[in-house]
Amino acid sequence: MPINYSDCFETEHMREENRRIAKNTLIVYARLIITTLLGLLSSRFVLAALGASDFGLYNVVGATVIMFSFITSALYNTTTRFINYEQGKPDGNVNRIFNMSLAIHVCFAIVALVLLESAGVYYILNYLNVEAGKEADAMFVFQVSTITTCLSLTCVPFNSLFIVHEDFRTIAIIDILGTAAKFALILALALYGGNLLRFYALSMALVTALMSLSYFFLSRRRWPAITRFNLIKGKSNYKEILIFNNYSLLGAAALIFRNQGSNMVINYFFGTIVNAAYAISYSVQSYIITFVGNFDIASAPQITQNVSRGDMDRTVFLASSTCRICVLLTLLLLFPIYCELPFLLHLWLGDNLPDGTITFCKCTLLVALVSATSGGITQLIRGTGKLKWFTIQFTVLYVLALLISIGLYNAGFPPYTVILSYFIADAISRYFQILLLHRYIKLDIGSFVQKSYLRPLGVFMCGVAYVLVSGFADIEQNLWHITNFVIATLFMVVTIYYVGLYKEERDAILSHLKHSVLKKS
């Protein structure tokens, strides 16, 4: 049955939910702006201090750890989903779910440690393509990252409570303080006279560990009834969570396999210099996906809790709205960045750009766009709990994409080939996701696609037109580049407002702005 959008703005309860999502979104974007600015500056100083080779080495060794930290990501999604779902029940026992999740996290932390100290060390010693004399540095970075990964894994249930209770303010404060601390330590690289790579790895790990411990102590003080330790016995109690987690684990592994497996394959065929170019492009992609994903995260509690209450009309409305806005936010960033990519990269990183960075970045912009089309859909899938075939289909696609890329590399194809392979795989995966949602929850495909993608398609076409027109002006002056970036951004804002948003949304924005002005006056 098609969604009537006007109905979803009518009741006071729905308006309150919309206001809560809007408030949470503003908080996470305030956090994102600050952390992104510090992150961009950090990348410039780190690349200048370490050099392209050590910068690439840190990223490829870190990728080895991240290959196993998919356990953390999977369990985080599982824990958040089940606690959130339990929170939506009138008679839910959140303490029981919390303690079951904590026990599972501790067990998997031990598994992660064993895997990292066996398979991870074997890879470092036998397959890592590193400059002579850097083997000991690589192992130091690996061991420090391993300890941090295992500690973070055990603290995930405590972190999840802040998402469930929609306490995005505390998350923002911890992230901002952590990012600021990392930035200060990066500036200290210029003053340190020893091994810069080891100092950088150790300082980043210490800050990350302190951030994880902050969630532990704050949640223990804020929700003592929920975090009261209580060992839940009996395998049957854990069955549902473990089944869900197994598929969540497979899905997270596929995503890490896609991102970090690409890094390792690139290292094998092309070396650490190309790894540095890939790392920069991956950072650009990560900033965009994080910018967009924050809106997805802000809407996640409401989507899951509406599934728990059985209100599927509201759930599908939230999912389609989230999907559309995620794509619009990506387009807002994509076209201004694409228009002035070489200028922005040189402004960000100076003249130390590794060869191929610009081409890598252009390809990852496409990946970020197709990734944004999953906004809302992923939360809807997790809310229903039916992960099996959703996870299997994109896992198979991602594995095939990497294997095909390896074959193409052997045939002499360029380094960015793997990124384009995943772009195609992600687009095919989205098609299967929507078909499976139709099967499981009787999703009206035509209505969902129209509400999620039709208006963003109009915005996309306008953006392409702007890129084509601005490309005729071949002016190599900084003032022109800055002006063009600002004009492109304003053009996308206006286009999104009039083409991408519905009338009810534009009215809500104007009403909020008028209320804010009157309140100040």
What pLDDT was estimated at residue 167? 83
Question: Who's near 520: CB < 8 A, 6+ residues apart?
Answer: none
The per-residue DSSP string of 211-265 comes to: HHHHHHHHHHHH-HHHH---PPP-HHHHHHHHHHHHHHHHHHHHHHHHHHHHHHH
**Residue range 243-264, pLDDT digits in tens:** 887 787 787 778 777 877 888 8
Burial (Cβ within 10 Å: 0-12, 13-18, ≥19) of residue 190: exposed
Q: What is the DSSP letter of 188?
A: G
**Is pLDDT above 90 for 458?**
yes
Of 307, 436, 425, 418, the C-alpha closest to 356 is: 418
CB 45 within 8 A of CB 189: yes
- Specify the number of domains making up the chain: 1
Residue type, 479: L
What pLDDT was estimated at residue 430? 93
For residue 113 the two structure tokens come to: 């440690």
Q: How many CA atoms lie within 13 A of 408 on its CB side?
A: 16
Helices (H), 350-387: 357-372, 377-384
Of 362, 352, 496, 355, the C-alpha closest to 420 is: 362
Average pLDDT over residues 196-205: 87
For residue 440 the two structure tokens come to: 């499981």
Owning domain of residue 398: 5-520
Integer Cα distance of 106 and 95 in angstroms:
17
For the chain, helix, strand, coil in percent to 5 are 85, 0, 15
Q: How confident is the model at residue 370 (pLDDT cuts 50, 70, 90)?
A: very high
Q: What is the DSSP letter of 195?
A: -
Average pLDDT over residues 459-469: 93
- H or E element that contains 232: none
Integer Cα distance of 502 and 361 in angstroms:
32
Average model confidence (pLDDT) across the chain = 82
Least confident of 72-76, 287-291, 364-368: 72-76
Select the highest-mean-pLDDT range: 85-89, 235-239, 275-279, 473-477. 275-279
CB 212 within 8 A of CB 152: yes
Select the highest-mean-pLDDT range: 201-215, 254-268, 296-310, 451-465. 451-465
Q: What angle do CA 492, 498, 503 make, to 5 degrees?
A: 145
Angle between helices 168-187 and 135-164 (to 10 degrees): 160
What phi and psi, each to the nearest 5 degrees, are found at residue 438?
-65, -40
Selected residue with higher pLDDT from 89 and 208: 208
Q: How confident is the model at residue 129 (pLDDT cuts 50, 70, 90)?
A: confident
**Residue range 375-401, pLDDT digits in tens:** 888 888 877 777 788 888 988 999 999
For residue 143 the two structure tokens come to: 């061991």
Of 425, 390, 429, 391, the C-alpha closest to 405 is: 425
Of 466, 287, 452, 484, the C-alpha closest to 367 is: 287
Residue type, 275: N
**Is pLDDT above 60 for 5?**
no
What pLDDT was estimated at residue 6? 47
Integer Cα distance of 514 and 521 in angstroms:
11
Burial (Cβ within 10 Å: 0-12, 13-18, ≥19) of residue 228: exposed
